[in-house]
Amino acid sequence: MTLQGNMLKRNPMRFAAGLLVALASFVAGPNAALAAAPQHHDQAPGFYRLKVGDLEVTALYDGTGVFDPHWLNGTQAMMDGVVKRLHEDPHMLDVVDTGFLVNTGKQLILVDAGAGAWWGGGALGRLAGSLRSAGYRPEEVDIVLVTHLHSDHVGGLTTQDGKRVFPNADVYVAKADSDFWLSPEIAAKAPKDAQPFFESARAIVAPYIQAGKWHTFSGSDTIVDGMQLVPLSGHTPGHTGYEFSSKGQTILFWGDIVHAQRVQLQHPEVTAMFDTDQTAAAATRQQLLPKLAREDVLIAVPHSSFFPPLGRLRKEGSGYTWVPVVFTDQWDER
Ligand SMILES: [Zn+2]
């Protein structure tokens, strides 16, 4: 029996309807049928894979945002220069928000979880979808390493109605960050502008604490073989980078060492209003960047101007330029 014959036998009504649609498009002409195809406004699925030794690292797109120049603190002359450059290059402070998945071959580890619905929604909160597009399911994630407890890094952990997005994952964060953002006493004394950060942190973390899946670390605890904790306090009290190594290759997930990549790499002294301790944040950045440039370390950046937000630093004058990983680097063995 032919295919049409089969369809007719199984579902005569659907077959008849299909015939009518085909007939209608024939009557209206072929161009009318083409024009009826809806436009798809979604961007391509946002993920990018890279091999680091035996590790498979996947950058997971969470969404985009625009950094306001008023959120930066620099000298007046410096900030005037930023505003002037923005007129010539309006996308200079655009930011791609990203989390990262590390498949060690034994465990699936997520480093930062994006914003979920906790940072204005809309343009952010696509990380779980990017993870699925990359061939994984949230239930498969074993461990989440959190660089700090701002909602644009942990919002993706929990739905607005308090459900865990990664139900089987153990979540790790520095004790100093957990103690700070989850403390009702510290929250009560914080400025009004900072209150939403405390409130969202408590709400996002609550279901993991309740399930016994919330863990804190201090010092140089071992959480995962081949991964080193890199304390980078300043942006938040327990802000931490995670450095994975395999077969002589290294990648550093550096959290919020920069927010406005195209400003702060050239001017590492510029801070952001979201830095809990501005002086310490600048000092940490000033210490870290020369070392990363010297050692040609591969860096994963949650807030980059580019996607994939992976690359290396090169010293240039008093600042640094960004050398991005490109598609041809995908399985680079260097
Ligand atoms: Zn952030």
Distance 92 CA to ligand 1 centre (A): 17
Reading the block at residue 2, the tokens are 């032919």
Distance 112 CA to ligand 1 centre (A): 10
CA pair distance 64, 54, nearest whole angstrom? 30
Distance 100 CA to ligand 1 centre (A): 14
pLDDT, residue 41, reads: 79
pLDDT, tens digit only, all 334 positions of the chain: 333 434 434 444 443 444 444 444 444 445 556 678 988 877 777 999 999 999 999 999 999 988 899 999 999 998 999 999 999 999 999 999 999 999 999 999 999 999 999 987 678 999 999 999 999 999 999 999 999 999 999 999 999 999 999 999 999 999 999 999 999 999 999 998 889 999 999 999 999 999 999 999 997 788 999 999 999 999 999 999 999 999 999 999 999 999 999 999 999 999 999 999 999 999 999 999 999 999 999 999 999 988 999 999 999 999 999 999 987 665 554 4
Distance 9 CA to ligand 1 centre (A): 58
Distance 150 CA to ligand 1 centre (A): 6
Distance 255 CA to ligand 1 centre (A): 7
Distance 7 CA to ligand 1 centre (A): 54
pLDDT, residue 283, reads: 97
At which residue do the structure tokens 């008093």 appear?
318
pLDDT, residue 32, reads: 56
pLDDT, residue 221, reads: 81
pLDDT, residue 119, reads: 83
Distance 41 CA to ligand 1 centre (A): 26
Distance 301 CA to ligand 1 centre (A): 10
